[in-house]
Structure 1
Amino acid sequence: MKITEHIKNAKGKTLFSFELLPPAKGQGIQSIFQTMDELMEFKPPFIDVTYHREDYLYKEHGNGLLERVSYRKRPGTVAICAAIINKYKVDAVPHLICGGFTKEETENALIDLNFLGIDNVLALRGDAQRGEPNFIPTPGGHAYATDLLQQVVDMNNGKYLHEDVESSEKTDFCVGVAGYPEKHFESPNFNTDFKWLKKKVEMGAEFIVTQMFFNVDKYKEFVVKCRDNGIHVPIIPGLKPLTSKKQLITLPRVFHLDIPEELSDAVDSCKNNADVRAVGQEWLVQQCKELIDFGAPVLHFYTMSNPGPTKKIVEQLA
């Protein structure tokens, strides 16, 4: 079922959904199942599964030659989504990214997803490769999320990369895109970033999932601006609890977001991570209550495949 249909069927009730990371290289599917087992009591209508590009290092040999070695790779998102659907009978939403994939590889992934009956995808540019200061497109791949979105829309219209494709069957993916209540860090200003978001919706994006935030007013302002400018698709807030003092530095650096002074001061005064988790939990529970009152269609939790903190929060809301 499409995300938009889940939201429509909820008839105004706020749903819960969760994002999982594929297990690290060498780990089995059981780690995914263990996480899912803890979250299924909240009846999520869908589960997001992230996509990760390979990272490489260069190994120098005695003859002076360098060998590129893949050292960081996670198992296939497509297969994980199929396993989740088969075992738990909930919809899985695979992330599609530009970095690390050619257009042909993306088309093949979409063909597989369509074959498996997966109805939704989240189209993202993805991050720069580890060690690179800027995003560099993969040769033969997409440079922007809009290009990736266009490829999915094209396949929904029966248009494939090559005219000699044997089947021109139309796919029917419900496509989501990312939204940034505090703007994308590479955009020169919020309005420019917003214009690109509007373009994605005009191209065919049917729902938006936001970057995590810790100030509900930022989400509310973002939604109001969307509605005032003709963007009427569901806008799903992305959420994550603070669980350590270190995140006061890492989250703003990695995700380019602001942490409200009241929250950062409370975390900074904690004596240990147990205290931080309590503060983070209390803050996010209040965020969620405000979002439910505001009419957020779904509360989407970035679990980082650690369901414990998220579960404690949702227990207070379900």
Structure 2
Amino acid sequence: MKVIDLINANKKTAFSFEILPPLKGTGIEKLYNTIDTLREYDPKYINITTHRSEYTYKDLGNGLFQRDQLRRRPGTVAVAAAIQNKYNIRAVPHILCSGFTREETEYVLLDLQFLGITDLLVLRGDKAKHESVFTPEGNGYFHAIDLQEQINKFNNGIFIDGSKIKTVGTSFSYGVACYPEKHEESPNIDSDIYWLKKKVEAGAEYAVTQLFYDNTKYFSFVDKARKAGISVPIIPGIKPFKKTAQLSMIPKTFKVDLPEALTQEVLKCKNDEQVQQVGIEWCIAQCKELMNYGVPSIHFYTISAVDSIKEVAKTIY
């Protein structure tokens, strides 16, 4: 079953989560520990992030630096295959514009199809750290909708050079991202809704949101999307608050607002252990409200938050 089928077939709010591939050279055991911690809550699928290469600078000791490209978290395809093989849970690798040419994307699609991995999350991805604005890699794409077009053509048996695929395998199904508080590069929320509708019209079967802590922002976004004619599931992306330092880090990194009530509770805490408990309680209340609203699924971002997510899942599932 495709991810969208798994979501639609679930009678209650489904559970899923996102993981990062291991850092280069560190092994996969920690990732397995994360899955082992959370799989008792019946995840319908697991997302695996994809990471582009970044420039690094090595001090040569003579006043000069050597610039190299390094992919700190390779292995998305292999990790997806390992998860599906070991746990029999649907794996959903991210497919990015950022850092990848059209040819590289095509080879990834071929590898995934050979492995029986046919659910994707299609994203533009972030700009590279050395870039002031997003810049495609080689002949890569500026926008996720262009990447969708390549996947659609692949599904229809056409390579990027226009030649026909001799043996067409199982078609890819995919979701896309959306932003209840708008993408940082978008001029306004209406523009975000417009492009989400275009991505749905191009074949996206569901959308997963950027993390948020204020449910009213999500409810308002969904209402605008429905009025615009967007009918696919809009899955809330959630991450428990955990450390005092996140009061400044989360708004800066993810371009989202923190509710004043959450901020005030965090500021009362004497240490990060207390902050973590506040974050768990806030997340439980947030998820319960979302479930009462009737969301088809809740998607959890696990980085540095696995133990908190376990406490939340234990309560709401």
Q: Name the TM tier (shorter chain).
A: over 0.9
Q: Which amino acid aligns with 1:120?
A: D
Aligned to 1:181: 180
Three-state SS of the structure 2 residue aligned to 1:45 is: strand
Greater shift, 182-191 or 132-141, is seen at 132-141
2:99 matched to 1:96? no
Return the offset for 1:209.
0.2
State the 1:132 CA deviation. Answer: 2.3
Q: Which shifted more, 144-153 or 155-164?
A: 155-164
Residue in structure 2 matched with residue 18 of structure 1 by the alignment: 17
Distance (whole Å) between structure 1 residues aligned to residue 136 and residue 64 of structure 2? 25
Residue 56 (1) aligns with residue 51 (2): no
Deviations 1:222-280 (A, max 9, x none): 11111121111111100001100111111100100000011011111211001101111
Alignment gaps of 5+ in structure 1: none
Quote the residue 2:221 is aligned against.
Answer: 222
Worse overlay, 34-43 or 145-154: 145-154
Deviation for aligned residue 1:8: 1.9
TM-aligned CA distance change 1:201 to 1:166, over 3 Å: closer
Deviation at 1:44, TM superposition (A): 0.4
Does structure 2 retain, via aligned residues, the 8 Å contact 1:120–1:175? yes
Shift, 1:171, TM fit: 4.4
**The residue matched to 1:17 in structure 2 has which SS?**
strand
Tell me if structure 2 keeps the 8 A contact 1:23–1:29.
Answer: yes
Partner Cα separation in structure 1 for residue 264 and residue 90 of structure 2: 39
Distance 1:191 1:23, change over 3 A: same
Q: Aligned runs of 1:32-51 on 2, under 5 Å? A: 32-51=31-50
Q: What TM-score do you get using the length of structure 1 for normalisation?
A: 0.95
SS, match of residue 211 in structure 1? strand
User: Secondary structure of 1:304's partner?
Assistant: coil
The aligned length equals: 317
The farther-off stretch of 179-188 and 217-226 is: 217-226
The one-character-per-residue Cα deviations of 1:20-57 (angstroms, maximum 9, x if unpaired) are 01111211111111111101100101000000111112
SS state at 1:313 partner: helix
Q: 1:305 to 1:25 in 2, by over 3 A?
A: farther
Aligned residue type for 1:43 = D
Code of the residue aligned with 1:189 in structure 2: it is: N
Aligned partner of 1:6 in structure 2 is: 6
Contact 2:51–2:71 under 8 Å retained in 1? no
Aligned residue in 1 for 2:140? 141
Give the letter for the 1:217 counterpart.
T
Residue 99 of structure 1 contacts residue 126 of structure 1 at CA under 8 Å; is this kept in 2? yes
Partner residue in 2 for 1:277:
276
Q: CA deviation at 1:94?
A: 0.3
Shift of 1:170: 5.4
Listed one character per residue, the Cα deviations across residues 183-218 of structure 1 (whole Å, up to 9, x for unaligned) are: 001011111111111110111111100000101111
- Distance between the aligned counterparts of 1:305 and 1:273, measured in 2? 13
1-side partners of 2:66 and 2:263: how far apart? 44
Contact 2:113 / 2:169 at 8 angstroms: preserved in 1? no
Q: Report the 3-state secondary structure (helix = DSSP H, G, I; strand = E; otherwise coil) of the residue aligned with 2:316.
A: coil
Counterpart contact for 2:244–2:275, Cα < 8 Å: yes
1:210 equivalenced with 2:209 (yes/no): yes
Q: C-alpha distance in 2, partners of 1:155/1:113?
A: 12
2:75 corresponding residue in structure 1: 76
Point out the more displaced range, 185-194 or 154-163. Answer: 154-163
**Structure 2: stretches of 5+ with no match in the other structure:** none
Offset of residue 5 of structure 1: 0.5
Q: CA deviation at 1:135?
A: 1.3
Q: Is the 8 A contact 1:155 1:170 kept in 2?
A: no
Contact 1:19–1:48 (CA<8 Å) still a contact in 2? yes
Matches within 5 A, 1:85-124: 85-124=84-123
Deviates more, 1:131-140 or 1:157-166: 157-166
- Please tell me the residue identity of whatever aligns with 1:139: G
Taking only aligned residues, the RMSD between alpha carbons, in angstroms, comes to: 1.7
Which amino acid letter does the alignment assign opposite residue 233 of structure 2? P
Contact 2:84 2:90 (8 Å CA) reproduced: yes
Specify the alignment match of 1:157 in structure 2: 156
1:261 and 1:155 map into 2 onto residues whose CA distance is 47
